[in-house]
Chains A and B, each alone.
Chain A
Amino acid sequence: MKRPLLGTALVHMGLVVLCVIVLYPLLWVVGMALSSQPGLQQGLWPLPAQPSLVNFTHLLTAQDAAGHFTFWRQLGNSILVATLTTLVGLTFSVTAAYALSRFAFPGRRLGMTALLATQMFPATMMSVPLYAILDKLHLLNSLSGLVLVYATTSVPFCVWMLKGYFDTIPKDLEEAALLDGASQGQIFLKVVLPLTRPALAVTALFSFMTAWNEFVLAATFIDDQLRFTLPVALQRLVGEYKTEWGLFAAGALLVSAPVMAVFFALQKNLVGGLTAGGVKG
């Protein structure tokens, strides 16, 4: 297949224009982060004339009264919470999705519908009852409580994704492994999971982002500055009377940088993963 030079050029031009449209709003975030003065850059060009890194250095070197570098502590919390959320969320969803895909038991269809239904009730109404429940479970003010809540929140999407993917893995493979002498656990770990890797990458990313960007529940459930996650600290910059836009933008970039890194690392898998995972209900 050959395509005319003109067509190719047009496609590239279109894509470049689209990329510009997509990236332009982000350039405003960058512009705000790089400007040392409060206020608004006007017009079409978002970057300040005199860029300054002062917002970044301010955030990165902020210390609390006890001399802790709060940004780094909170970054640590965020990484810990997001990573554990991913692990716990994936453990929950992989097992449940496998059962929903493979085992015959009453209520499978109901289970899938119930999972979808969890996405339908507006989250704003849930935080106060959740607070009371976590209190009963003695999980308030602990990162593990937060991890549990986030992991649970991410389960429905992950199960839907993974179940669809498991459905595409032929049952023969598992039977072959059974005959090869593998136990159920070995089949799951050595045959099924390696084949699910792309879908796992997608769901891992999803769980990670769920935990990484959330601040309402984190701020509500945690009572200790040094246990806050980064988005909570970031949200502190939005005040009753005024918002520290420069710091907020710089913080938003710092918060999204790790996600973008993970994203870019996973993007090949992502394409394949969503494919076969096929978000197939």
Chain B
Amino acid sequence: MTRVGGVAAVKRAIAIVTLACALFASGVRAEAPPEKTRILVWHAYRAAEETALLMLIDQFNAAHPEYRAEALALPYDVYPSKLSAAIPTGHGPDVFIFAQERVSAWARDGLLSPMDADAAMMPGEFPEAALDALRSKGALWGLPLSLKSVALYVNKSLVPVAPVNTDEMVALAQKLTDPAQGRFGLAWEAGDFYHHASWLSGFGGKLFKEPEHRPVVDTPEGVAALTFVRDLMRKKHVMPEEPSAQLVATLFNANRAAMVINGPWFAGEIHGVDYEVVSLPIVSATGLPARPLLTVEAALVSATSEVKDGARALARFLVSKDASILRAKIGRQVVATRSAYDDPGVGGDTLLRAFRKQAESAVPMDNTPAMLTVWEPYKRALTAVLSGLLEPDEALAQAQRRLNAIAKPMPPPASPWPLLLLAAGGILALSIWIRRRPVRPDAPALYHDVRRAIAYCTPAAASILVLVFIPFAIGVGLAFFHHGEGRYTFVGLSNFVDILTSRDYRITEPMSFWFTLAVTLAWTVANVVLHVSIGLFLALLLRDPLLKFKGVYRVLLIVPWAVPNYITALVWKGMFHRQFGAISALLATLGLEPVSWFTRFSTSFAANVVTNTWLGFPFMMVVSLGALQSIPQDLYEAAEVDGASKWAQFRHITLPLLRPALLPAVILGSVWTFNMFNIIYLVSGGEPGGATDILVSEAYRWAFQRNEQFGFAAAYSTLIFLFLLGWSALTRRVAREPSPEAA
């Protein structure tokens, strides 16, 4: 039988591929047998800091022949989630370097080994604030490596004497500001809470209400701090608008920003400017020093490490005096170890000393998950106020509402039985229905290819089943749980109920599911319409057989498709900058006012759509080009003879004949656009106030920026899925696509 031959061929092909995979895997996996015990160190250091770390690891290995420490440098963005995934399964590092921000959660989840005994071996070496930052539930969970906080950089040629209080600072800044020339007295990333926190403390504000340790932001102190910064930017104009890290660096290097608030990492970006670093000034209104947030980078030891002794030895070594001196000198780190500053090369370094001094007065950043929920609401408040959209008190009240919504109490645990019974009943009913359904008498004849079909589909089906549907099922399953305090609790449908009834917001408010859904729909429709119409229009132009340089145009116009979208999205973001972006420059040459793109919903949404249209039209252009080629030319000639206008030809020939070819592309394209996370996240970031967020970016925020509410995020994702499924069923019905059996 020939069928056997077909199956055999496919089997052979599968065997070859499997064999290739296996060979390849074994080749890559081959490793030298470990003679020494390996200690794995994970970090996200780069450049000088990485060099210093690697040197220290070499030194450690030389001093401890029984161990072989190895470093793995990871991208910062994926580092935390990788740790959370890897450590529980035992694949994680033995030692890893991370700031204190997640220490409590990790300690609670049992990912860390306590380090009290190790710290006790070096009494008096670490500032109490640094150790506090690494404590949770009474134990110490890491050894502090370096202290990071912002301080004031002053351009010495413009500011001979650094200001000691804000009155001096503001007066100086006003003197040095000339907006017409693009000169500013002050600059920092004012839209970022990390930088802003210094002023909050300077005005006497605290982020948490004790003893319940709840973030409270709508305090009088908070309003005062925010008003102070707002006035600097919007009333006194001594600061640039929408100041990004890049912009701050550019202005400082060009002597166009006299004073800059930034961290030790900024020193490496300064070129040709004579500068010094001093502590932040005293806030004149309160007489309190502006105390920046202190991040403590620490060496942490994994709870699942199999070489804990070695790992702790390595951690101790990294914070030892000699190692700290090397990290300070080579890695330019503001090391935590006190005795390192006895070394003249460290203690005498003005930059390190200045930051060390600032660190002594800094406020250690809270290490509980509650801290992680503060960033997004506060950032939204900052941008709203700094763009003039809201008054400080309104913005902070809004932020507080947001925080309350995020910190919502866990819904009451539900019994899983009703849902399980329902599911079981559903499955039973389904199987009975399948059983009872009359078997078509011709089934054997109609489905005579079943065996072959199984053979052909198995590789794809198996891999999709394991690598897509199982994770998918887990994801959907999570939607019925609440994740809090590191535990999952079954809460039945309450996540869905909360989302669909928009519990914390009116449905007309940006944070409600329905508002986000409406934005998502508008986003999808706008994009798909633009993609298709621009793509089709260009395809019609490029189809003209008489047009020269067709190939060149075609190649140039599909370039946006080929470049990774995370970089082009950031470029677009830069072009939309109100003061320095290319689009403002273009508007200026046309004699128009620059637009503050991300302060209004309409312009912010438009910026997203423009970026995504730029990215997406080439795909539709290529699809349309192809589809157009399948329309016989003689139809147009016939229409021409009939006296049809160009528009009528397009309307009555081109469009109807393109429909079948374009429709699936439109369906797939709309699904992709619906879930196009990168553009929203990177371009508008949801501004203003989360209004331009779409469902998928909301889901992401619930999972990663709002107290790890994985259950809630999963419920969002499930709703996205159900919505898209319904929508595609609808479109396909509307399109009256013949079923495959009928085809």
Contact = CB atoms under 8 A, between A and B. Distances in A.
Interface of A: 1, 3, 8, 11-12, 14-15, 18-19, 21-26, 28-29, 32, 37-40, 42-44, 46, 65, 80, 84, 87-88, 91-93, 95-96, 98-100, 102-106, 108-109, 111-133, 135, 137, 139-144, 147-149, 151-153, 155-157, 159-160, 164, 167, 178, 183-189, 209, 213, 215-216, 219-220, 223-225, 227, 231-232, 235-245, 248-249, 252, 255-256, 259-260, 263-264, 267, 270-281
Contacts of A111: 457, 461
Interface in B4-21: 5-10, 12-14, 17, 20-21
- The list of the 10 closest CB pairs from A to B, nearest first, reads A184-B6, A185-B9, A275-B626, A39-B250, A103-B449, A183-B5, A99-B456, A235-B75, A129-B471, A274-B626
A1 B546 contact: yes
B582 A240 contact: no
A26 B563 contact: yes
B564 A255 contact: yes
A130 B17 CA distance: 22
Given A19-B556, A183-B5, A100 B626 contact: no
A220 B84 CA distance: 10
Contacts of A108: 740-741
Contacts of A125: 471, 475, 478, 699, 703, 710, 713-714, 717
Interface string B119-139: 000000000000000000000
Contacts of A32: 571
A69 B562 CA distance: 26
B699 A25 contact: no
A278 to B, nearest CB: 5
B28 A143 contact: yes
Contacts of B740: 100, 108-109, 112
Nearest to A38: B269
B711 to A, nearest CB: 11
10 contacts: A28-B574, A96-B457, A117-B725, A124-B704, A141-B91, A160-B668, A183-B5, A242-B266, A256-B564, A276-B630
Nearest to A209: B562
A220 B74 CA distance: 9
A252 B677 CA distance: 19
A209 B558 CA distance: 14
B660 to A, nearest CB: 6
Interface in B555-609: 555-564, 567-568, 571-572, 574-575, 580, 582, 585-586, 589
Interface footprint category on B: 35 or more
B563 to A, nearest CB: 5
Contacts of B247: 39-40
A94 to B, nearest CB: 9
A135 B91 contact: yes
A44 B28 CA distance: 48
A270 B84 CA distance: 42
B44 A240 contact: yes
A185 B622 contact: no
Contacts of A98: 456
B450 A105 contact: yes
Q: Which of B17, B78, B585, B614 has the most CB of A within 10 A?
A: B78
A278 B671 CA distance: 18
Given A142-B25, A281-B737, A121 B721 contact: yes
Nearest to A167: B743
B460 A92 contact: yes
Nearest to A141: B91
A281 B78 contact: no
A20 B288 CA distance: 54
A51 B558 CA distance: 26
A106 B447 CA distance: 7
Contacts of A106: 447, 450
Given A125-B475, A281-B663, A130 B562 contact: no
Contacts of B585: 42-44
B421 interface: no
Interface stretch (B368-376, B425-433, B462-470, B500-508): B462-470
Contacts of B627: 274-275, 278
B572 A25 contact: yes
Given A104-B446, A225-B72, A280-B661, A185 B677 contact: no
A124 B703 contact: yes
Given A38-B249, A99-B453, A120-B675, 17 more contacts: A8-B547, A19-B557, A29-B567, A39-B247, A115-B464, A118-B468, A120-B720, A122-B699, A124-B717, A142-B25, A223-B40, A239-B46, A240-B76, A248-B567, A274-B623, A275-B661, A279-B668
